[in-house]
Structure 1
Amino acid sequence: MAELLFRLRHVTDEEAEEVRDLFAAEGLDTYETQAGFFRLGVDAIWLRNPDQHDAAIAALNAYQAERLERAQREHAAAVERGDQMTLWKHLAAHPLQVVLVLLAVGLVAALTLLPFLGLARA
């Protein structure tokens, strides 16, 4: 019976391709499914041979640990260079967008709390 190895929903094309290449390099018997037009299925990579499950999980865990380490290094380097986007940098670059988002958040909060504030006065 096939086993789910890796869900592809919300995964970048780069990461999905790296995972496909990893499984191919390990010689694992996998296949891919798509969710379909109405998104009723699952975008995923499946393992056909259950005897390869332990090897597949070990390879995937090693890949994900390496990818996490790489992402953390890239983030630290961006922070060190001053390239990391912060709220203040975003505000300076897109002031209208930030103000409109803050107004929308305030409006939603006010509409949510309005019935409770009315109860407190009564």
Structure 2
Amino acid sequence: MARQLLNLRHVSDEEAHEVAELMDEHGIEHYSTPPGSFGVSAGGIWLRDEEDYPRARALLDDYQAQRSLRVRAELDQARREGRAETFWTTLYRHPVRTVVYLALAGFILMIFFAPVVQLGRSG
């Protein structure tokens, strides 16, 4: 019976491809399912044989630990070199979008706090 190894929600195409290659390298039979319509399901990487799960899980855990270290090192390097994305670089690159998002956030906060302000005035 098949068993899901990795849910592909919030997983980059690069990472999904690397995980599939890792399973291929170790002779673990797997297949991928695409995301469903309207984003209801995210898709996944599935093992054909459930008995491969402990070995595949150990490989995946090791891969994810190594990837985490690599990505953090890349981010630290980008920060040192001034290439890391910050609020100010986003504002510079996409000023209209950033201002619209800030306005929407302010509007949502206003709606959220309006009843509290009204209660404070009436009491």
Aligned residue type for 2:10: H
What does residue 8 of structure 2 align with? 8
Call closer, same or farther: CA 1:100–1:37 in 2, change over 3 Å: closer
Structure 1: 4+ residue segments shifted above 4 A: 38-42
Call closer, same or farther: CA 1:57–1:114 in 2, change over 3 Å: same
Task: Kindly indicate whether residue 51 of structure 2 is the aligned counterpart of residue 51 of structure 1.
Answer: yes
What does residue 24 of structure 1 align with? 24
- Structure 2 gap ranges (5+): none
Partner of 1:83: helix, strand, or coil?
A: coil
Shift of 1:46: 1.3
Shift of 1:119: 1.5
Shift of 1:106: 1.6
Aligned residue type for 2:32: E
Aligned residue type for 2:88: W
What does residue 110 of structure 1 align with? 110
CA distance in 2, matches of 1:87, 1:40: 31
Task: Kindly indicate whether residue 120 of structure 2 is the aligned counterpart of residue 120 of structure 1.
Answer: yes
Call closer, same or farther: CA 1:93–1:36 in 2, change over 3 Å: closer
Percent identity for Structure 1 against Structure 2: 37
CA distance in 1, matches of 2:7, 2:77: 29
CA distance in 2, matches of 1:41, 1:95: 33
- Output aligned runs, 1:91-102, within 5 Å: 91-102=91-102
Deviation string, structure 1 residues 46-80 (Cα, Å, up to 9, x no partner): 11222222210111111111111110111011011
Call closer, same or farther: CA 1:95–1:119 in 2, change over 3 Å: same
Aligned residue type for 1:9: R
CA distance in 1, matches of 2:10, 2:20: 16
State the TM-score, normalized to the length of structure 2: 0.84
- Structure 1 gap ranges (5+): none
Shift of 1:92: 3.2
